[in-house]
A and B are shown apart, each in its own frame.
Chain A
């Protein structure tokens, strides 16, 4: 799996996310409260709304449309109306950059 250079570590506030588009796909990259970075698919599994305007609380992302929540570390759907988990992708940090394996 190739590593893709997605953004600088300080592009994302702690407890927040950004959108990252690559090769016709869209992702969400998260900066957790403990400083770790995570990556999931960008679109909510309920009705394909982008999560970029959502709310990060601890280790969960809440979808801006109908408030479904996911654990962005595992992708697990935690609250209706989402029933399907998000795909997650590995991340690594090198030289102040966040890389994702997609």
Chain B
């Protein structure tokens, strides 16, 4: 059984480069160019509508939460506000990092900055780390965004339901960057000319947190932190719930997103919060398609994909047993069957990397 080293500077990173797995050609379903152009087309309207709804709801829930504070009657409103701050902002960060949410670039950039702040992800570093996630999706030693590493760190995943590790990492890295330093792992994927921007943003954020903490001290109340900062913890659960489904339990070190990504049908409220990233195979295959066209893309290519999971329950019913087996034997993974209409997986290409599929 191979032991994995997920560090970007470790032996698996070098091996991925040596074997040609890094920056490889990936499988794509064929789509006529005219159809693809239509799917990729940008427009402002859907994201303006969704952003207006998002911020209106945040203002409303936080306003009621403040009005009812410190009564426990405020709790449901904080939970709702937190879910938007600590989870909906994850998908806004993601979509805007691709620049696909709006047609007008400054709108993308503005929402990207706000969402990055809420998620405590430096907007410069994470743009590069996410580019790497797309180049080398779930390639061990290359992808900096693997959530369910093998063997799965279940304690870490559960703690992240409350944002503990991620937010702690975000805040400590913010302080590290604000002190004028770039971490060696960041230096592996952020070009040198971009690095001063990482430091500048970190310093602005430190100033915002300092002002929030100062206000909390002046008021003798944690209320300001309920609005800024803490929702990253108490509202993180939804983005962890949906995000874990993206790749957990599936193959590593392959170059076909059908083997390492998962599409799941989910309820409309979760789709609003997650901005359609439940169509995850589709997103990875064609990252230029805006979130609001992913259902159409799904219809266009589903004949070539493993059947989508029909609900979050069904997805987790398939994920949890595989993660449990990976605790004992980390080479186990889930390989989904393709429909008869699909082009088969290239076994010759992937067999070395695939290891043992779970039955």
* Residue of A54, A62, A69 most packed against chain B (CB within 10 A): A62
**Which residue in B42, B103, B128 is a CB contact (below 8 Å) of A81?**
B128
Chain B facing A: main interface SS: helix
**Interface: A26 (CB within 8 A):** no
Given A66-B135, A83-B193: A55 touches B99 (CB 8 Å cut-off) = no
Verify if B36 is at the interface (C-beta below 8 Å from A): yes
How far apart sit A81 and B99, CA to CA, in the bound complex (Å)?
A: 11
**CB atoms of A67 and B23 under 8 A apart:** no
Knowing A57-B42, A65-B287, A66-B287, the reply to whether A80 touches B194 (Cβ < 8 A) is: yes
In the complex, what residue of chain B is closest to A18 when comparing beta carbons? B33
Kindly report which residue of chain A lies nearest to residue B103, judged by CB atoms.
Answer: A57
Chain B residues whose CB sits within 8 angstroms of the CB of A69 once the complex forms: 99
- Count residues of B near A (Cβ-Cβ below 8 Å): 23
Tell me if B134 is interfacial: C-beta within 8 Å of chain A: yes
Is A53 located at the chain interface by the 8 A CB criterion? yes
**How far, in angstroms, from A100 to B41 measured CA to CA in the complex?**
28
Cα–Cα distance between A59 and B134 once the two chains are bound (Å):
25
Q: Contact flags (1/0) for B124-155 with A, using CB distance below 8 Å?
A: 10011001001100000000000000000000
CA distance A60 to B99 in the complex (A): 13
When distances are taken between beta carbons in the complex, the residues of chain A under 8 Å from B336 are: none
Complexed CA–CA distance, A27 and B118 (Å): 41
Residues of B within 8 A of A62 (CB): 99, 288
Q: Give Cα A23 to B100, complex, Å.
A: 35
Interface string of B62-105 (1 = CB under 8 A from A): 00000000000000000000000000000000000011100101
The answer to whether B127 touches A81 (Cβ under 8 A) is yes
Interface of A is mostly: loop
**Please, how many angstroms separate the alpha-carbon atoms of A80 and B105 in the complex?**
12
Given contacts A54-B288, A80-B128, A83-B193, contact A66 B134 (CB under 8 A): yes
Chain B 102-132, CB-CB to A under 8 Å as 1, else 0, gives: 0101000000000000000000100110010
Answer yes or no: A16 CB below 8 A from chain B CBs. yes
Cα of A48 to Cα of B99 in the assembled complex, Å: 20
B228 at the interface (CB under 8 A from A): no
Rounded to whole Å, the gap between the CB of B288 and the closest CB of chain A is 6
Indicate whether A83 sits within 8 Å of B135 (C-beta atoms), given known contacts A47-B23, A67-B288: no
> B39 to nearest A CB, angstroms?
10
Chain B residue numbers with a CB within 8 Å of A67 are: 98-100, 287-288
State whether B128 touches A53 (Cβ < 8 A).
Answer: no
Encode contact with B along A8-29: 1 for CB under 8 Å, 0 otherwise: 0000000010000000000000
Known: A64-B286, A67-B288. 10 other contacts (CB 8 A): A16-B37, A46-B131, A65-B287, A66-B134, A67-B98, A67-B99, A69-B99, A79-B99, A80-B124, A80-B194
Sorted nearest first, the 5 A-B pairs with minimum C-beta distance are: A66-B131, A81-B131, A55-B40, A67-B99, A67-B98
Residues of B participating in the A interface, judged by any CB pair closer than 8 Å: 23, 36-37, 40-42, 98-100, 103, 105, 124, 127-128, 131, 134-135, 191, 193-194, 286-288
